Structure 1
Amino acid sequence: MIPARLAAAALAAAALAVLPDTAAQADVEPKRYVALGDSYSSGTGTGDYFDEACMRSNEAYPRLLADGLGAELAFEACSGATTSDLLAEQLGSLDAETDIVTVTIGGNDIGWAEAVTACITPLANCMDEIEASEALVQDRLPGLLDGAYAAIANRAPNAAVYVLGYPRLFNGATTCGPLKQPNVAEQMRMNDAADRLAAVVQNKAEEHGFTYVDVRDAFAGHAICDDVPYLNGLAYPPSESYHPNEMGHLNGYYPALGRAVA
């Protein structure tokens, strides 16, 4: 069996192979890249942060992509960000000279953290919380995404914008961890909700002329409770729970984004 770290290195090399040769671009002005979004963009879950307040990490996919492209990175993504936070706090680096924008946003607007918390609480039934999140996905999120995406397009009219989705958290087959929560039925229900979220985000991204990057296949076989998970289960500090780990960014988000950019 190939050790996990060697497999990670091989996948990282494959991701780099699809990006332009930065050495060949040495005489070209570096691309200007702005990374927006929430904890799935900031790198929360990797355990290595240069900005503790926003839990920004050099192991996160924005830094990996910037290094692969030889681009100048304005790293604005922040853990816990909602669409309103993005509009109020993250757009200052965008302008007509911006070449690339990436963003994950929306998960904190739909009560998803509350649903996850309910599902990992022993003896609790989290179906009501999941249904409440799904209702927000259908009824509230489309308008919020319209506002955020329109603002990005207005501030960076010449940029290629890549909207990254969220992975399914669970394998829907086994439980693990000290609490053995959520159970398999709850896992499957939460994965269904993740698919609903993906459909709305993709639809809105494409309506605005952005490229949607679906990462669900990249995380398939590497969910929480799988042998080589790309996602943290219940972790310490708790803020790192249910977020991509270092391999999730290196082997999940980064290759999927690299292929789209290439």
Structure 2
Amino acid sequence: MRRFIPLLSVALLAACSTPAEEPQPPHYVALGDSYAAMGSTTLPLDPPNTCVRAQDSYPELAAKDMGAELTNVACQGASTLDVLSSAGEHPAQVDALREDTDLVSLSVGGNDASFVRLTQCATDDICQTESGPQIDMEIRDLPRRLDKVYAEIHHRSPNAKVLATGYLPLIKHGETCPFIEKIPASDREWLAESIERINQAVREAAVRHGATYVLADSALDHTACSPSPWVDFTGKETNSFPMHPTHAGQQAMAEALRAAL
């Protein structure tokens, strides 16, 4: 496995040795869903546009700062099935992995737990009644699905460091604001708890498979109800996609990713 070498060490090696091959940049593969793909709505998208890969998503920002060779296959709507197989119009995301891949970031699990429907609960006061049992069942099944993803990553890129990213919370317990004040308190609590449970499943799967769980520090201080949101209900004031990370949120996740290295 190629190592991330401090710049000072590189300079010393160059000064004290005979001419040699220049160190290759680390190979970084970004797997996952819209939380790793979407960014600012004002920036051009990388093809294929159906994946809505933004230039300021956290994989793109982190790769630039690290000087890494990035293969970004994160795609909006992706579930563990899309990571592992060609379930739709795109190839299996794991096909981007190589034996010499150094770093993998993984943002997946939300769509396995009906994340789109879950975020709609911020505007629907009967969401828990209608969708609660299904989402609960899907969250309980999430560990099994995540274990399959890790098994394939380790098979294809046995020496890669894997960083599993959590989902920036829309709201926290006991929180309300004008956008969600019409939602009953019990439903708000259920929404916050459900996102926590998804993150818990992602974190525990990372521990089981020797990966590192990553979530930006102070994420609970930057919910969609906060004055400086890292995720937005509508995206209108932050030029972001509804119910997804803002530019500031993607920057915070990129910084957390680098810190984890």
TM-score, with normalisation over the residues of structure 1?
0.81
Q: Distance in 2 between matches of 1:39 and 1:23?
A: 36
Matched, 1:240 2:241: yes
More contact order relative to length (CA 8 Å, sep ≥ 6): 1
CA displacement, residues 69-99 of structure 1 (integer Å, 9 cap, x when unaligned): 1010001100000111111221122111101
Q: Quick one: which amino acid aligns to residue 46 of structure 2?
A: F
CA displacement, residues 229-255 of structure 1 (integer Å, 9 cap, x when unaligned): 11111246xx9211101110112x112
Q: Quick one: which amino acid aligns to residue 98 of structure 2?
A: D
Quick check: 2:56–2:250 contact (8 Å CA) kept in 1?
yes
Q: Which residue number corresponds to residue 37 of structure 1?
A: 32
Q: Could you list the runs of 5+ residues in structure 2 that have no partner in the other structure?
A: 12-21, 86-91
CA displacement, residues 145-167 of structure 1 (integer Å, 9 cap, x when unaligned): 11111111111111111111112
Matched, 1:199 2:200: yes
User: Shift of the alpha carbon at 1:136?
Assistant: 1.3
% identical aligned pairs: 31
Q: Greater Rg, structure 1 or structure 2?
A: 2
Quick check: 1:44–1:79 contact (8 Å CA) kept in 2?
no
User: Secondary structure of the equivalent of 2:256?
Assistant: helix
Q: Could you list the runs of 5+ residues in structure 1 that have no partner in the other structure?
A: 1-18
User: Secondary structure of the equivalent of 2:61?
Assistant: helix
Quick check: 1:118–1:125 contact (8 Å CA) kept in 2?
yes
Q: Cα distance 1:24–1:197, how it changes in 2: closer, same or farther (>3 A)?
A: same
Quick check: 2:171–2:192 contact (8 Å CA) kept in 1?
yes
User: Secondary structure of the equivalent of 1:220?
Assistant: helix
Q: Distance in 2 between matches of 1:23 and 1:56?
A: 34
Quick check: 1:43–1:56 contact (8 Å CA) kept in 2?
yes
Quick check: 2:38–2:241 contact (8 Å CA) kept in 1?
no
Quick check: 2:171–2:220 contact (8 Å CA) kept in 1?
no
What is the root-mean-square deviation of aligned Cα atoms in Å?
2.4
Q: Which residue number corresponds to residue 114 of structure 1?
A: 117
TM-score, with normalisation over the residues of structure 2?
0.81
Q: Which residue number corresponds to residue 104 of structure 1?
A: 107
Q: How many residue pairs are counted as aligned between the two chains?
A: 236
